[in-house]
Structure 1
Amino acid sequence: MVKFLLLALALGVSCAHHNNPEITPSEVDGNWRTLYIGADNVEKVLKGGPLRAYFQHMECSDECQTLTITFKVKVEGECQTHTVVGRKEKDGLYMTDYSGKNYFRVIEKADGIIIFHNVNVDNSGKETNVILVAGKEESLSKAQKQELKKLANKLNIPNENIQHLEPADTCHQ
């Protein structure tokens, strides 16, 4: 119970920094790719890490109360496809199970770009803050990269922990 309360407090503090924009099906539904990913526990998002998610497709239903994300993760050199369904809770967080419990929300959106903040609590109870940039295109503008760095700093994710996922990576194809 204490871990849950600490998690709720951490998410509440991190969310106070952001306006937590609402998303609509027209903004979300379709093919996406992960452009950047970073975490305070960087080993979780390095190549082969369990949270290095290569987004493929997103779709929301019930006025985006449910968000379905299909992504790939490379395990021992092989790409594995996963689909998770996040259900929006009363506090605005989506909750789903993958490599533990995940509590995520949209913290920024622009044309063809959505930035997520996720807190993963793995099966051993270790919490990892993750920032993930999903895009319809293959890159960010210089201004968008600066905004990503600012958001990561607010989430206590060091800039050196932010990984660019190359479009040519086999899991993106």
Structure 2
Amino acid sequence: MKLQLLCLGLMLLCTQGEGDEVVRRNFDAGKILGNWYTVEEASSKRETIEKGGSMRVFVESIEPMEDSALSFTYWTNGECKQFSVISNKVADGVYVAEYDGYNVFRIVETDYTNYVMFQLWNFKAEGNFQLLQLYAREPDVSGEIKRRFEHFCHKNGIGEGNIIDMTTVDRCLQARGEK
């Protein structure tokens, strides 16, 4: 019996801290505040995330606001100009924002300390599209998290050819004071 308790205790100790809990609802916006990096983007209209595309933006930070809104600070590709977008909360993990059309997006999942995934629908006269984004606290994430994101893309009808690994392009890191 003592040996079983010892083994159980060792198992619990060894697994403690292994990976953070994945959250898919009841999000705490206060836990996603701070600096982030754009790691991967996927779109049903690839041209929106290619060089010069309106949605080829690189996140720097997410800041919760007092009225439950979120403020996103981004850099544009190419010119590396900084801008912010305020999004208003409409439900748990669901927000709306005006940027190159009307956008409704949701937090898909996060572990707060490593990554967050977003699903966005953009509506405008020229046509609608879906955008999926993977942000991370560090400039890159593990292969496991990338595979999880890519599986989510496929599940939502976005194929491999419409997923771009943003860690291989100029993400304006020098403009934000990094190498």
Normalised by the size of structure 2, how large is the TM-score? 0.76
Give the one of 28, 36, 40 matched to 1:32.
36
Whole-Å Cα distance in 1 between the matches of residues 93 and 28 of structure 2? 14
Whole-Å Cα distance in 2 between the matches of residues 153 and 102 of structure 1? 21
Which residue number corresponds to residue 147 of structure 2? 146
Q: Following TM superposition, by how much is the alpha carbon of 1:25 offset from its aligned partner in structure 2, in angstroms?
A: 4.2
Whether 1:66 and 2:69 are equivalent positions in the alignment is: yes
Whether 1:48 and 2:49 are equivalent positions in the alignment is: no
Unpaired segments of 5 or more residues in structure 1? Answer: 1-18
**Cα root mean square deviation, aligned:** 2.0
Aligned in 2, Cα 1:20/1:88: closer, same or farther, shift over 3 Å? Answer: farther
Task: Count residues in correspondence.
Answer: 151
Whole-Å Cα distance in 1 between the matches of residues 46 and 31 of structure 2? 29
What percent of counterpart residues are identical? 25
Give the aligned residue type for 1:130: L
CA contact (8 A) 2:123 2:129 kept: yes
**Off by >4 Å, runs of 4+ in structure 1:** none
Give the aligned residue type for 1:42: R
Aligned in 2, Cα 1:136/1:62: closer, same or farther, shift over 3 Å? Answer: same
Q: Deviations over 1:101-134 (max 9, x none)?
A: 1111100112320000011113x24111001011
Q: Following TM superposition, by how much is the alpha carbon of 1:62 offset from its aligned partner in structure 2, in angstroms?
A: 3.5
Normalised by the size of structure 1, how large is the TM-score? 0.78
Whether 1:133 and 2:134 are equivalent positions in the alignment is: yes
Unpaired segments of 5 or more residues in structure 2? Answer: 1-22, 175-179
Greater C-alpha radius of gyration = 2
Give the aligned residue type for 1:154: K
Mapping for residues 91-102 of structure 1, pairs under 5 Å:
92-102=93-103
Whole-Å Cα distance in 1 between the matches of residues 139 and 171 of structure 2? 14
Which residue number corresponds to residue 82 of structure 2? 81
Whole-Å Cα distance in 1 between the matches of residues 171 and 146 of structure 2? 24
Worse-matched range after superposition: 160-169 or 98-107? 160-169
